[in-house]
């Protein structure tokens, strides 16, 4: 059971919808910046990165708890072909469990 997390970064295509979702969970916007340039290219391991970075915080949480939303301006993020659509309204029966392939995630995850 998770009792606390420091922060998590979620890549999104629609910042407004993501903010609305996390607001329902009690998070509030703290700051918004655009990240780009050599320092962030090196840190993120993404050549030519330019992205909107929104920090949401859970008020009065001690220690601080953040959700960081990242919307790429460049490069355009590709969809993970192993993840099925979550919209099951058109499908009959229970949704299939996605078969995830995180080989593309490993270079990013190993640095944390």
| CATH code, 20 | 3.10.180.10
Residue 111: its pLDDT value, please?
A: 37
Residue-range definition of the domain harbouring residue 22: 7-109
Residue 102: its pLDDT value, please?
A: 41
**Residue 19 maps to a domain:** yes
Residue 83: its pLDDT value, please?
A: 60
**Residue 1 maps to a domain:** no
Residue 5: its pLDDT value, please?
A: 85
**Residues of the chain whose pLDDT is less than 70?**
80-112
**Residue 66 maps to a domain:** yes
Number of domains in the chain: 1
Residue 50: its pLDDT value, please?
A: 94
Q: How far apart are the C-alpha atoms of 79 and 22, rounded to whole Å? A: 22
Q: Strand 50-57 to strand 28-36: parallel, antiparallel, or no bridges (unpaired)?
A: antiparallel
**Model pTM score:** 0.67
Residue 23: its pLDDT value, please?
A: 95
């Amino acid at each position: 059971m998770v009792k606390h997390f420091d922060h998590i970064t979620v890549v999104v295509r629609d910042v407004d919808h993501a903010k609305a979702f996390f607001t329902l969970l009690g998070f509030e916007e703290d700051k918004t910046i655009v990240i780009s340039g050599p320092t962030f290219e090196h840190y993120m391991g993404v050549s030519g990165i330019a992205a909107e970075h929104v920090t949401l915080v859970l008020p009065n949480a001690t220690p601080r708890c953040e959700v960081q939303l990242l919307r790429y301006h460049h490069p355009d993020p590709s969809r993970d072909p192993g993840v099925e659509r979550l919209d099951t309204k058109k499908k009959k029966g229970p949704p299939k469990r996605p078969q995830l392939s995180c080989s593309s995630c490993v270079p990013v995850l190993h640095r944390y």
